[in-house]
Structure 1
Amino acid sequence: MVRKKGLLTNLTRFFTLSILSENPSHGYKIMDKLEERLGKRPSPGQIYPLLKKLKKKGLISQEIEKSGDRERKVYSLTEDGREAYSRLVNRFNDVVSTILEPRLTKCAHCGCQVYEGGHQEKIDGKLRSFCCIHCANSYKRGR
């Protein structure tokens, strides 16, 4: 069973870096985008301590931006932050590939990769995998 709290905390961290890799943002904009991506709105009590921790680690920087009478703290990734985010994305890709690779099959006709499912037929005593019945039929016609 996945611990939901830990998962959301880690996803919040990951997606915060992701959001800042796209554009500098202020705290409430980050919360809006996190709500879009995670389906749950984080509280200011979650985001601002996280931003403070990321800043302390040198992964983000903060600038004050004037908006009318108000001042906003705008956060952006530092070079170290971009490198850390890039490493996280690469590690995530490696994990996903490791999980999915054994489940991938290749269509015997068109060569596309099929993740779970597809269509299988025994042809000439050998079980062959296809992405769909249409490819299976084309394969049989082309033999």
Structure 2
Amino acid sequence: MHDLTAFQRDVLYVLAGRNEPHGFAIRDELEDYYDKRINTGQLYPSLDRLVEKGLVEKGKRDQRTNAYTLTRRGQREIDARTDWETQQVATLSHDGNDEQRLPEKRHVQHV
């Protein structure tokens, strides 16, 4: 999953919470999350890339509408990413040297 864009990862998360959504349902959920319009020229190539990588399966809902599902591999990738994120947050919040791990705040004077 490390080679996916953040948008592609978000598409996977949307698919994980839905039962065979079509493209517009995925787009609507992403628009709610991003609070902006999602271009179909961004969504469908991302879905196709996820299909190529074996993370998503593309099927037919009817003659005109595709439906997308997360593959087992896609779910394993989400689980691994979630574990990694949890570990990173836990390490940061429980490490006695938090200040050493966080970047220093720099004050910039504007002239």
Q: Normalized against structure 2, the TM-score is what?
A: 0.72
What does residue 44 of structure 2 align with? 48
Q: Distance in 1 between matches of 2:7 and 2:81?
A: 13
Q: Distance in 2 between matches of 1:25 and 1:82?
A: 16
Greater RCO (CA < 8 Å, at least 6 residues apart): 2
Following superposition, which runs of at least 4 residues in structure 1 exceed 6 angstroms of deviation?
A: none
- What value does the CA root-mean-square deviation take over the aligned residues? 1.9
Higher strand share: 1
Larger Rg: 1
What does residue 116 of structure 1 align with? none
What does residue 6 of structure 2 align with? 11
Structure 2 runs not aligned, ≥5 long: 97-111
Q: Normalized against structure 1, the TM-score is what?
A: 0.58
Q: What are the within-5 Å matches in structure 2 for residues 24-103 of structure 1?
A: 24-66=20-62, 71-102=64-95
Structure 1 runs not aligned, ≥5 long: 1-8, 104-143
What does residue 121 of structure 1 align with? none
Cα distance change, pair 55–94 in 1 and its aligned pair in 2 (3 A): same
Q: Distance in 2 between matches of 1:101 and 1:11?
A: 26
Identity of aligned residues (%): 27
